[in-house]
Structure 1
């Protein structure tokens, strides 16, 4: 009896020595080779029948475990298999949305965990879920359904004084002194403010969060690059709202997120999710999910919510610094996150609603939808449209990618656009030019059933990080 006899039976590599040892034991006991081969085939066919003991028990145990492993792998494959067609979903402002964003949303709506979705009028291509995509999933959270800048959010402070009370030079000086922008930037240690979010017990619950805490503490109160901004401008209330009389007010609007902390969390948990579903369709790789009731899912949920609180803490410090420098307290404030996942009742079931670049817009809920560095933004009140999963756009949305904007837009045209609207820009790159964005008025018009506009904000002095090519 030799290995050739065993290999002809089709045993896998690790089973070969076990099968050969058992066969040689039977041969030594006087059993003929044809009979041994029949016995080996019987063990292959039903390994469970030989687990109790005997010469074939070890081989049977290996084959039994191998079979369980294959069946488990097949079950994982089946549970990650995309549906043949996307679930139906509503689209707002379809004429404003590029085909690539629709294609990404279609893939998301084919996920086995998807239950409902919607696409906002500012939608454009992102990683995984498109920017402007809203997706409700059952017992699952998708790191890239939230996005890299977890908790990216808006905040508005309205001051009880006329917009003309602050000159352009004064606004510029305040923004230069009391805000920080860019990758890795931080206030000097003596300038940093403390915040309760830095003492949240969640930082101690995970090795990843413990590792990220020092950098988060160092960068508190600052903003990143790209489309993050802080700007002074004029808020116009045409009717009494926000506890204020109709009129024009000085206001501060900021767009900021969770800095490198959120990006590190997103990368770490996306890798875990992709490892969990190795057979996931290539088109959906960036949509790999974590079951919410799994250890990894709970860990991401904790880290995501901490990042959301940290992002809002950055806004709070930006507004506190500038308000203190102005010597006045805000008469009204509005804020909202637009890169987060929430537990929400949808059609009677609790689902996880991912908003990646979408503003929560439940009935009566206040929110902020900005335009560009030179175009208006709006204070809105949600209508609670269930087809939109209580959501609205988070801004104007890009119509040119960063590279396309840098390659096609002329600096003189962008400067003329800013000058024509009386906007002074500090920093900012050609990739963030107003012409790279859809017209905010068009986007707002396409979602009249999602939000009611309460006030308009016009930027006057804007600070951003320095772009790849300055304006």
Structure 2
């Protein structure tokens, strides 16, 4: 193994579970074993953990050995105590559209000892850990499941200045471009070799797990996930173009919704498991386990999360590049935003908090974002108002009013086809679980966000591609 630097993850592999013990062990190694190989360091540390009584008289290692001699408390004794329910108040927008289980999930999240502030968006529905549409601010702590499995899931809209009848005249070409230059679903990828600066990002080399994921990331670049992810052409009406940088009027738009693919999912699963092992919580909130941002694990997740977010953006870059090139179109403007991510943000009182938005759109003052409807309902281009009560956030869509299982049992392909025809929408792929009727009314959802965003444009889907 040579003289490579020993890291906390090396100790976790030999069952050093406490962050305090790991930090202490690394300090001792750096001081007393800096010239030993990593293999020799690990062998000794493993021996100290397994037979600590042999080191109680050792002047150097006795203090570390005592960490393992002391009786380990039971999980129930170690379990972190939640705050009282009344201590975890949060702001709610559009309460009548939010199911009781999503509301209860947010209540539980606000009882975490690290929770500082919270908000629930009107499109909120039940998720894992945080509800979808939940916004949670913490101090110096990051919750991997508060970001979500699809790190950096985002929207991206490109505007093209083409004649108003372009989509009608070239519908077949638009359909073929979507079929030939997009890929959807688990393990799917475009059958071409691509180049993008993200693949040469030095962060891949800073972490062994990220480096192992690089080839998969390169393979999946420019592809999209399953479920509600889509790539679609539609009609854009810009009502206030100052922030977008275009005149008011009508344009053709290319809108995509997807995230960080296998790269993000692997990062999320690894660090969620690690957080759950090191931050024992009651069973009902165990997925909300966190990592201290000052710890090695917390810093590693933060680096990995940001890389995954940049990779998600790169995927959208490639989708829009390939489709623009195939159709011979030149982009006029672009609007894009994450909605599964965590940011370090300074609050009105000057305090810096980690703001988790799991299915929520950043809505800082003047910040542009996209809030889609469904495969037939219009979406909105918005500019944030910087409302502190929502933690400068807005909804990330209309939100589901029906589970995927219920949607499949309720809608048929025939009924969806009739609705698509009535709305003059062409669909490639898409299952009954994504039926427009499975979503809340986007107009009502937007009515609860007057204090959060200004509407500066709309997007009406016309040619839609989703997973089969």
TM-score (ref. length: structure 2): 0.83
**Residue aligning to 1:187:** 190
Match of 1:267 among 243, 266, 269: 269
Q: Following TM superposition, by how much is the alpha carbon of 1:450 offset from its aligned partner in structure 2, in angstroms? A: 0.4
**Residue aligning to 2:359:** 357
SS at match of 1:407: helix
Matched, 1:463 2:465: yes
Distance 1:64 1:330 in 2: 64
Write the mapping of 1:107-118 to structure 2, written as runs, cut at 5 A.
107-118=108-119
**Residue aligning to 2:256:** 254
5+ long unaligned stretches in structure 2: 1-55, 58-62
CA deviation vs aligned residue, 1:296-331 (integer Å, no higher than 9, x gap): 111100110000000000000001111112222211
Matched, 1:82 2:85: no
Check 1:70–1:173 CA distance in 2 against 1; reply closer, same or farther (3 A cut): closer
Aligned-CA RMSD value: 2.3
Contact 1:163 1:233 in 2 (8 A): no
Distance 1:421 1:277 in 2: 50
Distance 1:244 1:143 in 2: 38
Check 1:208–1:66 CA distance in 2 against 1; reply closer, same or farther (3 A cut): closer
Distance 1:311 1:138 in 2: 26
Q: Following TM superposition, by how much is the alpha carbon of 1:373 offset from its aligned partner in structure 2, in angstroms? A: 0.8
Distance 2:229 2:372 in 1: 11
Write the mapping of 1:30-429 to structure 2, written as runs, cut at 5 A.
77=79, 80-85=80-85, 86-166=87-167, 167-188=170-191, 191-241=192-242, 242-278=244-280, 280-346=281-347, 347-429=349-431
Check 1:236–1:81 CA distance in 2 against 1; reply closer, same or farther (3 A cut): same
Q: Following TM superposition, by how much is the alpha carbon of 1:220 offset from its aligned partner in structure 2, in angstroms? A: 0.4
Check 1:415–1:76 CA distance in 2 against 1; reply closer, same or farther (3 A cut): same
Distance 1:163 1:322 in 2: 19
Check 1:72–1:127 CA distance in 2 against 1; reply closer, same or farther (3 A cut): closer
5+ long unaligned stretches in structure 1: 1-51, 54-60, 467-471
Structure number with larger C-alpha Rg: 1
Distance 1:222 1:301 in 2: 24
Q: Following TM superposition, by how much is the alpha carbon of 1:162 offset from its aligned partner in structure 2, in angstroms? A: 2.6
Distance 1:200 1:63 in 2: 40
Distance 2:338 2:239 in 1: 26
Distance 1:364 1:305 in 2: 23
Distance 2:338 2:67 in 1: 48
Contact 1:76 1:277 in 2 (8 A): no
Distance 2:361 2:400 in 1: 16
Q: Following TM superposition, by how much is the alpha carbon of 1:65 offset from its aligned partner in structure 2, in angstroms? A: 6.0
Check 1:205–1:410 CA distance in 2 against 1; reply closer, same or farther (3 A cut): same
Distance 1:291 1:303 in 2: 15
Matched, 1:430 2:432: yes
Check 1:178–1:258 CA distance in 2 against 1; reply closer, same or farther (3 A cut): same
Q: Following TM superposition, by how much is the alpha carbon of 1:73 offset from its aligned partner in structure 2, in angstroms? A: 8.3
Bigger mean CA offset, 358-367 vs 159-168: 159-168
Check 1:185–1:62 CA distance in 2 against 1; reply closer, same or farther (3 A cut): closer
Contact 2:376 2:420 in 1 (8 A): yes
Distance 1:415 1:196 in 2: 41
Distance 1:176 1:70 in 2: 58
Q: Following TM superposition, by how much is the alpha carbon of 1:415 offset from its aligned partner in structure 2, in angstroms? A: 1.6
Q: Following TM superposition, by how much is the alpha carbon of 1:238 offset from its aligned partner in structure 2, in angstroms? A: 3.0
SS at match of 2:113: coil
Check 1:63–1:292 CA distance in 2 against 1; reply closer, same or farther (3 A cut): closer
Contact 2:241 2:456 in 1 (8 A): no
Task: Provide runs of 4+ in structure 1 moved above 4 Å.
Answer: 61-76
Contact 1:155 1:334 in 2 (8 A): yes
Distance 1:208 1:64 in 2: 32
SS at match of 2:165: helix
Q: Following TM superposition, by how much is the alpha carbon of 1:173 offset from its aligned partner in structure 2, in angstroms? A: 1.1
SS at match of 2:303: helix
Distance 1:63 1:75 in 2: 22
Contact 1:163 1:251 in 2 (8 A): no
CA deviation vs aligned residue, 1:203-226 (integer Å, no higher than 9, x gap): 111121111111101110111111
Contact 2:203 2:307 in 1 (8 A): yes
SS at match of 2:211: helix
SS at match of 1:428: coil
